[in-house]
Structure 1
Amino acid sequence: MGKTLMIGSCEPFSGKSALVLGIARHILASNQGIRFGKPLATSIERIENREGCPNPLIDDDVRFVGETLGLGEENLIPSLHLLEPGKTDVRLQEANLDAGKRFDEFCEKLLAPFEGVTLLEAAGSLHEGLLFGLSLDQLAVGLDAQVLLVHLWEDSRSVDALLAARDQLGERLLGIVLNAVTPDEVEDIKTSVTPCLDALGMRVFGVMPRSPLLRSVTVGELVRRLKARVICCSEKLELMVETLSIGAMNVNSAMEFFRRRRNMAVVTGADRTDIQLAALEASTQCLILTGAGEPLPQLINRAEELEVPLLKVDTDTLATVEVIEHAFGHVRLHETVKATYAFRLVDEHCDLKSLFEILEISCSI
């Protein structure tokens, strides 16, 4: 009989998919079968099949993990429901606080004999999905599954949410992985915080440092969020942006500042050609122009030479910066370079050997 492990979190974008990738890779390397799914989908591209009927409800994260790990379609578990932002009225009309017959069928299918491990990624928080009977706790009970929580660490206040999760999940809480820890504090967290959490009944299986790469966003995603017009280098929208800089100072100060940054998105006024040219000579992944006016031809030519996408937005600098800042750390892990880094991060900072021993999963590490 296979095992079922749920990966959950107390808040969205905590690193669940990265942890799933790291765990799943070792299971597959041990020649064991694996299934993966998200009972409550949160992002999906509706693609119709040849018969004109919607394909199974497969979350975008599930498809990406499946493609990255080489899983067949039969190993991707369709979701039971889709959460769509801005669909409040529809959600309330469809809600009954109970997933009903479909949930029973879902549980029956997953509880059937399976030679391998079933990994399920829960929704963004402990309570998300209650409206449809699909919260983390409800799923764990219905599937008789154990839960591993990945939790963003800030300071001692971060423990409050973990204590609430412990009380809610009870013995189903297998343990936790702390994520996004300031790199310089990782060792201190391991020696001082981990024993305290263990004493509180929450075994820590990993302490992962904050990663600018995993928090990064593609230029293409910024184009989408900003509704930006791409002036040049539209073929370079897969470039990753890790930091944000605002070109509002004099050019000498700007050049010194830009030299200390890496993989930037630089936001500046369309009339600041001096700043724009300086930014292009630094580690700039895209240049975002705000305000009235159009870039000069020499700027466009230089951007094309250096293969730096040049974007134009209708919003002012402040509004543009707010959108970009919110994007960092709030995008899905859908890039191969991020997946590769996630493998390494989990390998180096998580005690998967102990996790697999407790789950009684045969896996050589």
Structure 2
Amino acid sequence: MGHDSASSHARSSALLIGSCEPFSGKSAVVLGLARQWLQRGIAVRIGKPLADSAELGSEGDGPLIDDDVRFVGQILGLSEAQLVPSVHLQGSDAARERLLAGNLQAGAGFTALQEHLSAGGEGVTLLEGAGGLSDGMLYGLDLVQVARGLRAPVVLVHSWSGSHSVEPLLAARDQLGDLLCGVVLNGLPPEQVAAVRAEVAPALERLGVPVLGVMPRSPLLRSVTVEELSRRLDAEVLCCRDRLDLLVETLSIGAMNVNSAMEFFRRRRNMAVVTGADRTDIQLAALEASTQCLILTGAGEPLPQLISRAEELEVPLLKVEHDTLTTVEVIESAFGHVRLHESVKATYAFRLVEEHCDFEPLLKRLQLPIPA
């Protein structure tokens, strides 16, 4: 049934990229897929029916373009016309209004989405779903509703952590039926990729879940900028304010004696080190390692020689009011839960998708004319 409707709309097709849980790697797949198809001369537009965050025009009257969509558009060199506006900005006020009104039909939002799509002309529109499978239900725009409403095929990007990870995919398959045209398994330890591709992919295929890619987990894509950490921690930046774009991949806590700390720091890369403001020995040791920022907790002011050494080595120093435990919790919750807004991440996402995914089956499913 999905195939007939695809052929009747072959002029301008929509493809939904969704996931069962938030932060599964959808934006990286949208980025990699869009770039591959653009390189083959296929007209591509991108959008998100529900925006997570968006800057409206200065008057607040411009189209509502999600920040992720704008970033991907910039990286790919897309024109404004190739960015599909969102129909709602996800926010507590709008969600509360809809909940209290008790009207969860897609209504005007879905009609607006259809209008945006029909204005698109030839080619394919990649629409990124909200966080997980049921996100957007309050707006009548969760992934399943949008897929059924548009009769659009769906690709799910799914974090894989062993055989039990299949359960949400089976639930999604039951809800989407023949609209589910494939999954990309993401976030695997690199040494497991080959085995999952050889054994798990064929098994999923037999269960009606075709596998389009198996991607290793990437510390770089999960990384977070020093600036983001500073914002989340409400930290005071003591030096190197111009280096806040450094990427942090790992977290170390400097609570041990200085010799163990040196040994430990040597084995880590691109780390944020959290330590007490009074532990000057640990702080100086951390500056000599692969440290992207040093975060000082507790009372006490850092020694002037620490600040001057940090400036020499261009390592930002942050001072926070929280205790070490709270600081660590805030940082841990940031890893893997940040958006793809650095061009170095985008370049890496291109390579990851290029090497580990095969989207040829989608071209057949969407019946896209591939320019010679």
Q: TM-score range by the shorter chain?
A: over 0.9
Following the alignment from structure 1 to structure 2, what is the Cα–Cα distance between the partners of residues 90 and 277?
Answer: 53
Q: Which residue of 2 aligns with 1:19?
A: 29
Q: Which residue of 2 aligns with 1:123?
A: 130
Match for residue 219 of structure 1 among 195, 220, 226: 226
Match for residue 303 of structure 1 among 307, 310, 322: 310
Q: Which residue of 1 aligns with 2:91?
A: 84
TM-score for the superposition, normalised by structure 1: 0.95
Matches within 5 A, 1:128-167: 128-167=135-174
Following the alignment from structure 2 to structure 1, what is the Cα–Cα distance between the partners of residues 117 and 101?
Answer: 24
- The offset of 1:294, in angstroms, is 1.0
Q: Which residue of 2 aligns with 1:29?
A: 39
The question of 1:190 aligning with 2:200 is answered: no
Q: Structure 1 unaligned runs (5+)?
A: none
SS at match of 1:257: helix
Match for residue 246 of structure 2 among 239, 250, 256: 239
- The offset of 1:31, in angstroms, is 2.1
Match for residue 98 of structure 1 among 94, 105, 114: 105
SS at match of 2:251: strand
- The offset of 1:212, in angstroms, is 0.3
Following the alignment from structure 2 to structure 1, what is the Cα–Cα distance between the partners of residues 221 and 155?
Answer: 20
Match for residue 210 of structure 1 among 188, 198, 217: 217
Match for residue 52 of structure 2 among 31, 42, 48: 42
Deviates further, 263-272 or 114-123? 114-123
Change in Cα spacing, 1:95 to 1:300, as seen in structure 2 (3 Å) is farther
Following the alignment from structure 1 to structure 2, what is the Cα–Cα distance between the partners of residues 40 and 95?
Answer: 19
- The offset of 1:348, in angstroms, is 0.2
Deviates further, 225-234 or 101-110? 101-110
Match for residue 267 of structure 2 among 217, 237, 260: 260
The question of whether the paired residues in 1 share the 8 Å contact of 2:84 and 2:117 is answered with no
Following the alignment from structure 2 to structure 1, what is the Cα–Cα distance between the partners of residues 101 and 83?
Answer: 25
- The offset of 1:361, in angstroms, is 2.8
One-letter code aligned to 2:165: S
- The offset of 1:26, in angstroms, is 1.4
- The offset of 1:143, in angstroms, is 1.5
One-letter code aligned to 2:311: E
Following the alignment from structure 1 to structure 2, what is the Cα–Cα distance between the partners of residues 328 and 161?
Answer: 23
Q: Which residue of 1 aligns with 2:7?
A: none
- The offset of 1:113, in angstroms, is 6.5
Q: Which residue of 1 aligns with 2:6?
A: none
Q: Which residue of 2 aligns with 1:169?
A: 176
One-letter code aligned to 2:139: F
Q: Which residue of 1 aligns with 2:15?
A: 5
One-letter code aligned to 1:36: I
Following the alignment from structure 2 to structure 1, what is the Cα–Cα distance between the partners of residues 85 and 120?
Answer: 18
The question of whether the paired residues in 1 share the 8 Å contact of 2:88 and 2:109 is answered with no
**Cα RMSD for the two superposed structures:** 1.7
Matches within 5 A, 1:108-119: 108-111=115-118, 114-119=121-126
- The offset of 1:56, in angstroms, is 1.6
Q: Which residue of 1 aligns with 2:355?
A: 348
Following the alignment from structure 2 to structure 1, what is the Cα–Cα distance between the partners of residues 273 and 92?
Answer: 29
Change in Cα spacing, 1:53 to 1:332, as seen in structure 2 (3 Å) is closer
TM-score for the superposition, normalised by structure 2: 0.94
One-letter code aligned to 1:66: G
One-letter code aligned to 1:17: S
Following the alignment from structure 1 to structure 2, what is the Cα–Cα distance between the partners of residues 145 and 284?
Answer: 46
Deviation string, structure 1 residues 61-85 (Cα, Å, up to 9, x no partner): 1111111111111111111111126
Q: Which residue of 1 aligns with 2:4?
A: none
Following the alignment from structure 1 to structure 2, what is the Cα–Cα distance between the partners of residues 329 and 113?
Answer: 33
Deviation string, structure 1 residues 177-214 (Cα, Å, up to 9, x no partner): 00001111000101111111011000000000000000
Identity %: 66
SS at match of 1:207: strand
The question of 1:331 aligning with 2:338 is answered: yes
Q: Which residue of 2 aligns with 1:249?
A: 256
Following the alignment from structure 1 to structure 2, what is the Cα–Cα distance between the partners of residues 169 and 112?
Answer: 26
Q: Structure 2 unaligned runs (5+)?
A: 1-10
- The offset of 1:284, in angstroms, is 0.1
The question of whether the paired residues in 1 share the 8 Å contact of 2:49 and 2:87 is answered with yes
Following the alignment from structure 1 to structure 2, what is the Cα–Cα distance between the partners of residues 245 and 124?
Answer: 29
Following the alignment from structure 1 to structure 2, what is the Cα–Cα distance between the partners of residues 234 and 198?
Answer: 50
Deviation string, structure 1 residues 78-136 (Cα, Å, up to 9, x no partner): 11111126876445346621121342232144145621111100001111111111010
